Amino acid sequence: MVKVYVKVDSDSLITEVNSEIFMESIDGYVLIDEGEGDRFTHAQGNYLESGLMDEQGRYNYRLLDGNAVLLTEEEKQELFPPIEPELSEQERFNAAVLLELAKLKAGDAV
């Protein structure tokens, strides 16, 4: 039997999954299952049905009562709010120039 361990963050989100075969130490990990076959032996890529993260880089699972529970899209939106990228100084300058050009074309330039 191969044991599967996970590591969780402060929100109980599963941030790592691995089988004991590939681990040097289990310190900081939680045992969640054991069994036979590729699902357990190669747990990193096979244990979690939806994978560790989604296509947007958000964690897919939370550890709840010793079980990996798939997060809903609503939970993900709450846990991982979109981050608005800040414009660089160059991007702000470019936007100001484009605005002035648009005003000139429209005849609204001051």
- The answer to whether 77 and 87 have CB atoms below 8 angstroms apart is no
Query: What is the domain partition of the chain in residue ranges?
Result: 2-79
SS3 at position 31? strand
Q: Tens of pLDDT along 53-81?
A: 999 999 999 999 999 999 999 999 999 99
Q: What are phi and psi of 67, to 5 degrees?
A: -120, 145
- The answer to whether 29 and 22 have CB atoms below 8 angstroms apart is no
Q: Tens of pLDDT along 89-109?
A: 999 899 899 998 888 888 765
Task: List b or e across 46-61, with b for residues whose CB sees 16 or more CB atoms inside 10 angstroms.
Answer: bbbeeebeeeeeebbb
Residue 104 is predicted with a pLDDT of: 86
The residue count for the chain: 110
Q: Tens of pLDDT along 33-43?
A: 999 999 999 99
Model pTM score: 0.74
Residue 107 is predicted with a pLDDT of: 79
Q: What is the average pLDDT score of the chain?
A: 93
- The answer to whether 3 and 36 have CB atoms below 8 angstroms apart is no
DSSP string across 66-103: TEEEEPPHHHHHHHSPPPPPPPPHHHHHHHHHHHHHHH
